Amino acid sequence: MKKIFVAGKLLPKTEKRLQDLGAVFYQGTEPITEAALIEGLQDAHALICPLSTPVTKQVIEKATQLEIVANVGAGFDNIDVQEAKARGVAVTNTPDVSTEATAELTLGLILSIMRRIPEGDQLLRESPEEFTGWAPTFFLGRELYGKTLGIIGLGRIGLAVAKRATAFGMKILYSGHQPKPEADTVGATFVTQEELIQTSDVISIHAAYSAELKHLFDRTTIAQMKPTAFLINAARGPVINEVDLVDALEKHIISGAALDVFEFEPKLSAKLRELQNVVLTPHIGNATVETREKMGEIAVLNIEAVLRGEAPLHSVY
pLDDT range class, residue 297, cuts 50, 70, 90 = very high
Q: Is the pLDDT of residue 210 over 90?
A: no
Topology agreement, domain 3-96+289-307 and domain 99-280: yes
Q: What confidence tens digit (pLDDT) does each residue in 98-126 have? A: 999 999 999 999 999 999 999 999 999 99
Among 206, 236, 292, 314, which one carries the catalytic annotation?
Answer: 236
Among 34, 83, 265, 297, which one carries the catalytic annotation?
Answer: 265
- The runs of H, that is alpha helices, within the chain are 12-20, 34-40, 57-62, 81-86, 99-114, 117-126, 156-167, 193-199, 219-223, 242-250, 270-274, 289-307
Note the pLDDT of residue 209: 81
Q: Is the pLDDT of residue 316 over 90?
A: yes
Report percent pLDDT > 70 for the chain. Answer: 100
Which of 34-48, 197-211, 291-305 bottoms out in mean pLDDT, i.e. has the lowest? 197-211
pTM of the model: 0.91
284 Cα distance to chain centroid: 7
Domain 99-280 has CATH 3.40.50.300: no
Ranges of each domain in the chain: 3-96+289-307, 99-280
pLDDT range class, residue 212, cuts 50, 70, 90 = confident
Report percent pLDDT > 90 for the chain. Answer: 94
Catalytic site includes residue 308: no
Angstrom distance (rounded) from CA 235 to CA 226: 22
Question: Domain 3-96+289-307, what architecture?
Answer: 3-Layer(aba) Sandwich (3.40)
Angstrom distance (rounded) from CA 98 to CA 194: 28
Catalytic site includes residue 236: yes
Number of Cβ atoms within 10 Å of the Cβ of 154? 24
Q: Is the pLDDT of residue 137 over 90?
A: yes
Angstrom distance (rounded) from CA 32 to CA 135: 52
Task: Round the average pLDDT of the chain to a whole number and report it.
Answer: 96
pLDDT range class, residue 308, cuts 50, 70, 90 = very high
Note the pLDDT of residue 31: 92
Angstrom distance (rounded) from CA 228 to CA 226: 5
Among 195, 283, 293, 297, which one carries the catalytic annotation?
Answer: 283
Catalytic site includes residue 283: yes
Q: Which of 305, 254, 262 is nearest to 114 (CA)?
A: 254
Angstrom distance (rounded) from CA 261 to CA 236: 6
Q: Which of 235, 256, 287 is nearest to 101 (CA)?
A: 287
Q: Is the pLDDT of residue 211 over 90?
A: no
Q: What confidence tens digit (pLDDT) does each residue in 20-77 have? A: 999 999 999 899 999 999 999 999 999 999 988 999 999 999 999 999 999 999 889 8
pLDDT range class, residue 173, cuts 50, 70, 90 = very high
